[in-house]
Amino acid sequence: MGTTRKGMLNVLIAAILWGSSGVCAQYIMENSQMQSPFLTMIRLLSGGFILLTFSFLHGDGIFRILKNRKDILSLLLFSLVGAMTVQLTFLMAIEKSNAATATVLQFLSPTIIVAWFALVRKARPGAFVCAAIGTSLIGTFLLVTHGDPTSLSISGAALFWGIASAFAAAFYTTYPSALIARYGTLPIVGWSMLLGGAMLLPFYAGDGAQVVITRQFAAGIPSTWW
């Protein structure tokens, strides 16, 4: 399989897994009274630990970045504005609406990226890209308004967090390219998730005591799927 096809396959799998994670997050929050910030913290800490463990076993040298002060600062910025913010805003959008709406709104991020490159780097998008952007914007408009521009079919909070998630995803996608080129994908993503989760610990670590595991949640029967 060529590099291009492998990249397209990875994008497809990533989109499916990300969308599925939204459905799982909605189910957890609805059936355990778990709030989105606490769930974000758990996702980041556990995901970061798993990725760094895989990276360490793979021999990627996960501690190399800690020897470069400039890169550490870039990693901290990426952890805060990228990994933590994209996860938190996404789950907040789910909490205020549902997984499908949050995912559609967040996937406006390619449009934001294209617009950024067009304005800053003078990279003019092709006709196919422009058509894809136009289609995504029309679809989002119909989702948010149901065709009536005078009213919203979702709450203002859901729209805010969904758009914020799209901007965070755009930053998350574009910012760490230099870091990934130096240290690899797994170490950078793993550290950003672990550090992002650690940034939430002082504020939401105590929320675990408020989590209520319902009988339906324990049985693993997602009522929202039926």
List the pLDDT tens digit at each of the 226 positions of the chain.
777 888 888 888 988 887 788 889 998 888 887 889 999 999 999 999 999 999 999 988 899 999 999 999 999 999 999 999 999 999 999 999 998 889 889 988 988 998 888 888 777 778 888 888 888 888 888 888 877 777 778 888 999 999 999 999 999 999 999 999 999 999 999 999 999 999 999 998 777 656 655 555 555 554 444 4
What is the distance between the alpha carbons of residues 137 and 107, in angstroms, rounded to a whole number? 10
- Find the helix or strand (DSSP H, E) in which 158 lies: helix 156-174
Contact 196, 80 (CB under 8 A): yes
Query: Which pLDDT does position 212 carry in this prediction?
Result: 58
Query: Which pLDDT does position 218 carry in this prediction?
Result: 56
For 99, the token pair is 């997984």
User: In angstroms, what CA-CA distances link 86 with 58, 64, 223?
Assistant: 27, 25, 27
- Find the helix or strand (DSSP H, E) in which 115 lies: helix 109-120
Estimate to the nearest angstrom the gap between the alpha carbon of 221 and the chain centroid.
25
* 85-96 helix and 156-174 helix, angle to the nearest 10 degrees: 160
Query: Which pLDDT does position 224 carry in this prediction?
Result: 47
User: In angstroms, what CA-CA distances link 35 with 43, 130, 195, 209?
Assistant: 12, 38, 20, 11
Query: Which pLDDT does position 209 carry in this prediction?
Result: 54
pTM: 0.84
